[in-house]
């Protein structure tokens, strides 16, 4: 049983950042080969937010 599977709002890596699941809405796109308009379906993606401590350490 993994801790991140139970975390509804995200999974925190102390001092590094936070992983979150984000719902992306359905949207219109274009096929680059043919120029045909296509519908890109809704999906769930992983988003990462860098912790302030990590960002400050890298930029300092």
pLDDT band at 9 (very low <50, low <70, confident <90, very high): confident
CATH of the domain at 32: 4.10.520.10
Under a CB-based contact definition with an 8 Å cutoff, are residues 44 and 10 in contact? no
SS3 18: strand
Q: Convert the pLDDT of each residue in 10-28 to its tens digit.
A: 888 888 998 988 999 999 9
Q: How many CB atoms lie within 10 A of CB 7?
A: 14
Find the DSSP H helices in the chain. Answer: 3-6, 52-59
* Predicted local distance difference test score (pLDDT) of residue 6: 66
Domain range for 19: 3-59
Give the count of domains, the chain.
1
pLDDT tens-digit profile of 42-57? 999 989 999 999 999 9
For residue 30, pLDDT over 60 is answered with yes
Asked whether the beta carbons of 58 and 39 are under 8 A apart, the reply is: no
């Amino acid at each position: 049983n993994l801790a991140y599977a139970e975390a509804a709002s995200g999974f925190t890596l102390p001092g590094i950042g936070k992983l979150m699941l984000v719902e992306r809405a359905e949207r219109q796109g274009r096929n680059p080969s043919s120029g045909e308009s296509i519908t890109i379906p809704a999906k769930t993606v992983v988003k990462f937010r860098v912790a302030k401590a990590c960002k400050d350490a890298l930029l300092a």
